[in-house]
Amino acid sequence: MDISSQEIESIVKQVIAGMQMSQTTANAPGNTVSQGSTGRMSEPVFRQNVSTGTASVNGELGVFDKAEDAVEAAWKAQRDWVTNYKIEDRQRIVEAIRRAARAHVEEWSRNIVEETGMGRYEDKVEKHLAVINKTPGPECLSTEAMSGDTGLMLEEYAPFGVICSITPTTNPTETIINNTISMISGGNTVVYNVHPRAKKVSADCLQVLNKAIIEAGGPANLLTMLREPTMDSVDQLAANPKIRLMAGTGGMGMVNALLRSGKKCIGAGAGNPPVIVDETADVELAGKKIYEGASFDNNILCFAEKEVFVVEPNCDGFLHTIQKAGAYLLNAAQTEQLVKICLQPKKNGQGYEVNKKWVGQDAARILEQIGVTGMEQCRLAVCEVPADHPFVMVEQMMPVLPVVRCQSFETAMEYALAAEHGNRHTASIFSKDVNHMTQFARLIETTIYVKNSCTKAGVGIGGEGYCTMTIAGPTGEGITCAKSFCRKRRCMLAEGGLRII
């Protein structure tokens, strides 16, 4: 959640108005205006890594001054990519991308912290390695076949074409690497619209990847982006007929705005992941793993543990074990002090929203604001609060973890469902009771559901399965891979042809 709900509403209105204006202008007699519109989202951007001065329409390793030039270059590259390159070429080039990215992991991790002011260097290294090593390539695009008396049917995964990918400030280069591998493996090219607060490191990453592609024998401009995008940039990309698919990572306002573009949209929306620790749980394991997950990269990940519901008689034991793992337990007065610092009243006066100044900040720095010093090694602050407390109901994206004491498992499920807000993003449970695991899974209906580990295990970081930074719950694709960015095409050979039985 990079922007407030008020900003989201404004964005949605601007997108719709901009598209209507663009359509009206295009239909006016005598007008030959190219795609584009006015007013919209500050979720893009880019780096002047190769040289200073104004880029030509040819771009600088994928970085362009104008949206139409970035799209045109990606469109030409995509025609070349699907016409002149085989699947084995895609595999070779994806491996070249992995090698190039590995060589820059530490540099990009440091630069993200410096440019965005959020997160932890060592955790960003782990995230980078996860997407580099565990994002599937073309190998996941399996052909489906069926033969019978009336012929042979093949279904294969085909590219959409040019994809516009909107990336967040929370995982800027990680998302570029992840989406690049997935999207070009499917035969697509990508125009990135990155977050302004991560534009330098994002452009550097894109240029490194493009250079690796070219050196491996691939076409230039498989990946493009704007040098200095404006509020209009998402509108311009959405309105361009050569963009066939919109993919966005952020809040639900962004997802809804993309859906209103009228194009195929893959949207990764907000989450407020609840955790239940039931009466049968291994409390030592729960304290250790929840501390690890909730403090990872200062809790800026959308799938990180955001609130914990502990069933009696395990609450005191859980609070003890999470402190033993390294957390600082706030008292009631300190908790309310932090509410005033980390959250702020909504402009409409109804409830709270996150104070973006403290998103992704170190726990030690946050604690200093209430006079708690000498906590440099502390990665997480914990507080015991009621179920309707603002820290429970607001997706904070900072290392302050509320814990709610529950009298029964059924009560814990009720509270968790309310806190998750129907996002259906991520949830987890610590339990030895299979029935409890099953009941909660059926109730919460999240895309990611983790049992007895950190929620990051659900995206392959310390768990089985492949990795992604684009978790498309709202539009249904789930944990995305190359298949998610392809469309199925069916080929039918009739009259029993090619059957040998």
Task: Give the residue among 122, 160, 169, 74 at the shortest CA–CA distance from 469.
Answer: 169
> Which stretch, 194-198, 230-234, 378-382, 492-496, has highest mean pLDDT?
378-382
Q: What is the pLDDT of residue 230?
A: 66
pLDDT attached to residue 150 = 84
Residues near 391 by beta carbon (within 8 Å), at least 6 away in sequence: 307, 335, 338, 339, 342, 343, 383, 385, 400, 402
Q: What is the predicted pLDDT for the residue at 232?
A: 75
The answer to whether residue 467 scores a pLDDT higher than 90 is yes
Q: What percent of the chain has pLDDT over 70?
A: 87
pLDDT digits (tens, 9 = 90+) for 384-405: 999 999 999 999 999 999 999 9
Q: What angle do CA 123, 128, 132 make, to 5 degrees?
A: 150
Q: How confident is the model over 270-286, as a mean pLDDT?
A: 97
Least confident span in 45-54, 226-235, 328-337: 45-54
Cα 318 to Cα 225, 283, 367, 390, 407: the distances in Å are 47, 6, 21, 21, 15
Higher-confidence residue of 227 and 355: namely 355
Both tokens of 221, joined, read 């401009």
Confidence of residue 28 (pLDDT cuts 50, 70, 90): very low
Q: What is the mean pLDDT of residues 312-319?
A: 98
Per-residue model confidence (pLDDT) at position 497: 64
pLDDT at 8: 39
% of the chain beyond a pLDDT of 90? 77
pLDDT in tens, 441-466: 999 999 999 999 999 999 999 999 99
- pLDDT bin (cut points 50, 70, 90) of residue 56 is very low
Q: Which of helix, strand or coil describes residue 372?
A: coil
Residues 153 and 173: their CA atoms lie apart, in Å, by 40
Q: Are 193 and 237 spatial neighbours (Cβ–Cβ below 8 Å)?
A: yes
Predicted pLDDT of residue 11: 42
Confidence of residue 269 (pLDDT cuts 50, 70, 90): confident
Q: What is the pLDDT of residues 179-212, one digit of tens each?
A: 999 999 999 999 999 998 999 999 999 999 999 9
Q: What is the pLDDT of residue 235?
A: 84
What confidence category does residue 270 fall into, taking pLDDT thresholds of 50, 70 and 90? confident
- For the stretch 134-152, pLDDT in tens is 999 999 999 999 988 888 8
Name the residue type at position 379. R
Instruction: Work out the pLDDT band at 228, boundaries 50, 70, 90.
Output: confident
User: Are the CB atoms for 432 and 279 separated by under 8 Å?
Assistant: no
> Of 433, 431, 383, 384, which is closest to residue 405 (Cα–Cα)?
384
Q: Read off the pLDDT of each residue in 8-12 and give the average, rounded to a whole number.
A: 43
Stretch among 52-61, 65-74, 139-148, 153-162 having the lowest mean pLDDT: 52-61
* 37 has pLDDT over 70: no
The pLDDT assigned to 294 comes to 98
Region 69-97 average pLDDT: 98
Q: For position 119, what pLDDT does the model report?
A: 97
Q: Which tokens sit at 263?
A: 């194009």
E-strand spans in 253-299? 264-268, 274-277
Residue 29 binned pLDDT confidence (cut-offs 50, 70, 90):
very low
Cα dihedral 47/48/49/50 (nearest 10) = 140
pTM strictly above 0.85: yes
3-state secondary structure 195-241: CHHHHHHHHHHHHHHHHHHHHCCCCCCCEEEECCCCCCHHHHHHHCC
Say what the pLDDT of residue 205 is: 98
Of the listed ranges 149-163, 242-256, 279-293, the least confidently predicted one is 242-256
Looking at residue 57, its pLDDT comes to 59
Mean pLDDT, residues 55-77? 88
> In the prediction, which pLDDT does 167 show?
92
Amino acid 186 reads: G
Domains (range + CATH), the chain: 39-269+480-486 (3.40.605.10), 274-465 (3.40.309.10)
Q: What pLDDT was estimated at residue 78?
A: 98
Structure tokens at 235: 């509108």
For residue 77, pLDDT beyond 60: yes
Between 475 and 14, whose confidence is greater? Answer: 475
Map residue 335 onto helix, strand or coil. helix
